[in-house]
Structure 1
């Protein structure tokens, strides 16, 4: 199993921002064409080719035989200067073999990737490094971030969407969410009442028995929370809030960090305000507001309010 690393999400806004940093340099370099490595390089290469007003071509890579071939019918005419684009410079041989293939055909070549790290086989000419302990997460490979997918060493035998990793909120999803003021008025009585609450009559239509539970309940409630979950057949991991790291008001941050650290692709949240805050931080995860049986997909991005004045 590869070393576990926290997901570092690249949404389309961040991808565009990264690319924009290099555009002045690339315009000055006067490339003749942009070449993408399909599939991961196609989206950023399309953005770059459009910005530079250059023709876009692509190569394909077969991992088993390590064979590079032209993906597009049209190709640049060597010798010329091309910018090779890939999403990540990884530990594998895709990028290095593609570089060798193009240079062997007489192209003058520079390489751009959206991400690289200390484990990358080659260092690109352009592109940022991801933070230590993180793994880049791209929107066109949403499910490849999970432990189950990474265990395939990038050779899945099933459709990628089947490698999704779900986590769920507890209160308001699996059982009724008691009002906050009840805890403030009579904490111990309310906790005892909560321990006796039945399973919700309306549950998400998923196999929840082994799903990760990410809750805002504090760590000191672990024993009583685990007892309730075990009694109702929920045997998956339980992630609780550590008061030394996150206050009760920081519960959405705690949940978002847990989603990224555990590399979940989907999370079901019962509170709409928390769902928005989580979606803003875990930008590529599918955040679903569970509203008494109705499931609503939530998307959120920070904006400058002055833009709307």
Structure 2
């Protein structure tokens, strides 16, 4: 599984600044929402004005901060001579084509399109892309709102909510108070397949109530069936418990908070593990099921197959039916 973080995004844009600067753009436009982050990064590096696609289409006044003035003297998008339209990534190209349809014809002539990441090395539906990142792929800014959530396992503490302090983690009244009232951290969009936690089974009622109160959807809640905190610490069962549940499943990703546990889960399962603590993806053992079993991979394969000669396409269909 290919993964890119905000740090990767910023580093790539800085490396590619000479290429971007050569276009002499006087306005940078981002496609909401994901395209706005790289658009503002580029605009700030170049010290040029920036707006979103809606402001471009409706020709709204361009805004700048009071402490920093851009090189460009334009006040409205229509005054720009060379416009860079930015999105974070491109896959099929359908979304970009739809956005381009909204733009007035006289404005289109001024536009160069750029995607930071492309799924294919060669394409004719965009002017510039900065790096090819093939599918399966995830970005730090969409990992909790991607379809992969439906085929993922999630830790709770440090992922869905903050970690308990040492004082709160007393396996008693303070811990119960924490379980009931801890604030949420990341709330995924969509239904999580499995929540796998080192919380003890005796705290299932409080955990289920908290998940329900915060609208977190899930299919399975797998907890640690041990009598107390001391026994859990004696066995050191945190990582192995999660790894065992992940290994037995057909899931494509596990989201873990602590780096050392993430590494251990990956080593034991050879499957992708994302660490929220360090924004790292451990994924050397990416699995075949990720390609065949999820909707996004199915769409990717269908688009890929359409480009193949018919005899090869028919052979692939025959092979796929055999293994399905």
TM-score, structure 2 as length reference: 0.49
Q: CA RMSD in A?
A: 4.4
Q: In structure 1, how many angstroms separate the alpha carbons of the residues matched to 2:241 and 2:203?
A: 22
| Match of residue 155 from structure 2 | none
Give the alignment partner of residue 282 of structure 1, picking from 263, 268, 274.
274
- Residues 31 and 47 (structure 1), Cα distance of their counterparts in 2 relative to 1, 3 Å cut: same
| Match of residue 192 from structure 2 | 165
User: Which protein is richer in helix relative to its size?
Assistant: 2
**How much has 1:93 moved relative to structure 2?**
3.1
- Of structures 1 and 2, the one with the larger relative CO (CA 8 A, separation 6+) is 1
| Match of residue 260 from structure 2 | 273
Q: In structure 2, how many angstroms separate the alpha carbons of the residues matched to 1:48 and 1:168?
A: 38
**How much has 1:58 moved relative to structure 2?**
1.6
- Residues 102 and 87 (structure 1), Cα distance of their counterparts in 2 relative to 1, 3 Å cut: farther
**How much has 1:273 moved relative to structure 2?**
3.4
**How much has 1:55 moved relative to structure 2?**
0.7
8 Å contact 1:31–1:82 — kept in the other structure? yes
Structure 2 residues without counterparts, runs of 5 or longer: 63-75, 152-186, 224-238, 267-271, 281-324
User: Are 2:12 and 1:51 aligned?
Assistant: no
Structure 1 residues without counterparts, runs of 5 or longer: 1-5, 62-67, 151-159, 176-198, 222-237, 243-257, 288-298, 303-309
- Residues 268 and 166 (structure 1), Cα distance of their counterparts in 2 relative to 1, 3 Å cut: farther
| Match of residue 96 from structure 1 | 97
| Match of residue 81 from structure 1 | 82
- The equivalences for 1:1-20 within 5 A come to 6=1, 8-20=2-14
8 Å contact 2:145–2:189 — kept in the other structure? no
Give the alignment partner of residue 27 of structure 1, picking from 10, 16, 21.
21
Q: In structure 1, how many angstroms separate the alpha carbons of the residues matched to 2:242 and 2:6?
A: 35
| Match of residue 206 from structure 1 | 211
Q: In structure 2, how many angstroms separate the alpha carbons of the residues matched to 1:138 and 1:275?
A: 16
Q: In structure 2, how many angstroms separate the alpha carbons of the residues matched to 1:11 and 1:72?
A: 32
Q: In structure 1, how many angstroms separate the alpha carbons of the residues matched to 2:89 and 2:259?
A: 34
- Residues 52 and 117 (structure 1), Cα distance of their counterparts in 2 relative to 1, 3 Å cut: same
